[in-house]
Chains A and B, each alone.
Chain A
Amino acid sequence: MNPRNVGEIEDADGIGEVGNPVCGDMMTFYIKVDDGKLSDVKFKTFGCGAAIAVSSMVSEMAMGKTIDEALKITREDVADKLGGLPKQKMHCSNLGADALHKAIQDYQSKQKDKEAQHG
């Protein structure tokens, strides 16, 4: 187990937090967007081995992608890239994709606010 991209981004363009520690999993994704592409992706995870692996994999899959491409990353894609997940761990793959999408949505709503201000 050697997770990549662990950490936070201080001036992140989007932050997405999902899950809750009651079920044992919590993920926070941080993204930086340059020219419509994810130039940096970092995460923090509280959860089991599958959760850690999923967040690491999602961060790798999303790195360098355009916003649209990143939004298309599904829970199934993540599970496939990991070579499959046991049935009771599939919910961890949900969290990974969801946290990434939430970070993107956060970025997009921040963008809308900026446009509204300057518009």
Chain B
Amino acid sequence: MAEVYLDHYAATPVLDEVAEAMRPYLSEEFGNPSSLHHRGDAAREALDSAREQVASLVGAAPEEVMFVSGGTEANNTAVKGICWAARRKGNHVVVSSIEHFSVLNAARTMAKFDFEVTEVGVDDLGVVDPEAVREAIRDDTVLVSVMAANGEIGTLQNVAEVAAVAKDKGVPFHTDAVAAAGWIPLNVADLGVDAMSIASDMLYGPKGAGALWVRKGLRLMPLLDGGIQEDGRRGGTENMPGIVGMGKAAELAGRDLADRASRVSAMRDRLVKGLLGAIPRLRLTGHPTERLPWNASFLVEFVEGEGMLLFLDQKGISVSSGSACTSRALKGSHVLTACDVPAEMASGSLLFSLGLENTDEDIDYVLETLPPIVDRLRQMSPLYAKYLKEGGG
């Protein structure tokens, strides 16, 4: 049976070159970068190299890049670290309502410690209005965090504009670039941001590694106290295999960005066009044009996401959904809710996240497989029966 993997937002395969680069660090190159002997030196060099590779992806100075355990830690460090360090200046944080939970919940945790959080809404395409951010900023705001792009609905944000608003008001600006890194150009100087999160596992690197870029001079309280690794900002012996892998993945992402974006977006566009044409009462979520090259997210009326997922899985197609049934917490996607999608519609969410190894044949297979599945689920659905009785179809 064919295997068609279209859930890259959940996990990406590690590229061969990346695995090769990591291999020595899982065997003979086992040194600790903090050790003062030749083995430690070798590790230190590898660490420095990886740091340069990641810095290069975002046009930053290497010493401003901090390695962490992934996108979640990067976001937690940014939100909690910056807020804690600035608490004498103020206790207000501005975030968008569609941030990843690692930003949103980190901010909500700060609210339990006498911080106040304003969640700025989005329009129905998921776009944050920079002016809404400006209005939300107060004299006691110590951080603004708005993502570069949303991985669920694909919408790209006007990062530079929002960053300019924050700068104008003298407030540090952090952007979660986890979904966007390696797919759109992200130069920290061009964007005017003060902190940026990246994750290795979205770059076809290993899981368990990430980075937080922080502009020199922006104070941060460490989440992990311990040794003075990462310039005293994150204790803990470095995850050398993960970091080396991330470095290599970042280097390849920078080198191949334009090619990847153009090839994958072409397949994505064909998938979108094909499904919109083949399945009635199906619509695309997020911005139609300003969206991540790999993201094709839909709402399918009258059927539920997990049902679609299971039938697709039976046919070898792996995708994801924002429906409540597919979440462990049984809560629907907060992103779709923020875009004013009614709960009933949001249940029919289907998220395709394309990747580097997908082919045109994969897209063809989805185009021939999904429509009959939707038909079958609609035949089972009381909502579809009601729609037909009311004169639909």
Contact surface of A with B, Cβ cutoff 8 Å: 1, 3, 6, 8, 17, 21-28, 44-52, 88
From B306, B344, B383, contact of A49 by CB (8 A)? B306
B380 touches A24 (CB 8 A): no
Shortest CB–CB separation between residue A59 and chain B, in angstroms? 12
Q: Is B265 an interface residue (CB 8 A)?
A: no
- Nearest residue (CB) in B for A26 is B382
A8 touches B323 (CB 8 A): no
Shortest CB–CB separation between residue A11 and chain B, in angstroms? 16
30 contacts between A and B (CB under 8 A): A1-B314, A6-B379, A21-B347, A21-B383, A22-B344, A23-B324, A23-B330, A24-B304, A24-B324, A24-B325, A25-B325, A28-B382, A44-B380, A44-B385, A45-B382, A46-B304, A46-B380, A46-B383, A47-B304, A47-B307, A48-B307, A48-B326, A49-B306, A49-B309, A49-B310, A51-B304, A51-B325, A52-B307, A52-B380, A88-B330
Residues of B within 8 A of A8 (CB): 385
Q: Is B278 an interface residue (CB 8 A)?
A: no
Residues of A within 8 A of B344 (CB): 21-22
Residues of B within 8 A of A1 (CB): 310-311, 314
How many A-B residue contacts, CB cutoff 8 Å? 67
A48 touches B343 (CB 8 A): no
- Complex CA gap A28/B306 in Å reads 19
Most buried by B among A17, A23, A49, A52: A49
Extra inter-chain contacts (9) besides given A25-B325, A44-B381, CB under 8 Å: A6-B379, A6-B380, A22-B343, A26-B383, A28-B382, A44-B385, A46-B302, A48-B306, A52-B307
Q: Is B88 an interface residue (CB 8 A)?
A: no
- Nearest residue (CB) in A for B383 is A46
Shortest CB–CB separation between residue B301 and chain A, in angstroms? 10
Residues of A within 8 A of B343 (CB): 21-22
Q: Contacts A24-B332, A49-B306; is A3 near B380 (CB within 8 Å)?
A: yes
- Complex CA gap A51/B304 in Å reads 10
- Complex CA gap A8/B347 in Å reads 23
- Complex CA gap A28/B310 in Å reads 21
Residues of A within 8 A of B328 (CB): 88
Q: Contacts A17-B382, A21-B344; is A46 near B306 (CB within 8 Å)?
A: no
Shortest CB–CB separation between residue A81 and chain B, in angstroms? 19
Q: Is B250 an interface residue (CB 8 A)?
A: no
- Complex CA gap A50/B323 in Å reads 14
Contact surface of B with A, Cβ cutoff 8 Å: 302-307, 309-311, 314, 323-326, 328, 330, 332, 343-344, 347, 379-383, 385
Shortest CB–CB separation between residue B247 and chain A, in angstroms? 39
A45 touches B330 (CB 8 A): no
Most buried by B among A3, A45, A48, A51: A48
Residues of A within 8 A of B305 (CB): 48
Residues of B within 8 A of A23 (CB): 324, 330
- Nearest residue (CB) in A for B381 is A46
Q: Contacts A21-B344, A24-B347; is A46 near B310 (CB within 8 Å)?
A: no
Residues of B within 8 A of A46 (CB): 302-304, 347, 380-383
- Complex CA gap A49/B310 in Å reads 7
- Complex CA gap A7/B260 in Å reads 46
A48 touches B325 (CB 8 A): yes
Residues of B within 8 A of A48 (CB): 304-307, 323, 325-326
Residues of B within 8 A of A28 (CB): 382
- Complex CA gap A22/B314 in Å reads 27
Shortest CB–CB separation between residue B326 and chain A, in angstroms? 7
- Nearest residue (CB) in A for B309 is A49
- Complex CA gap A46/B325 in Å reads 11
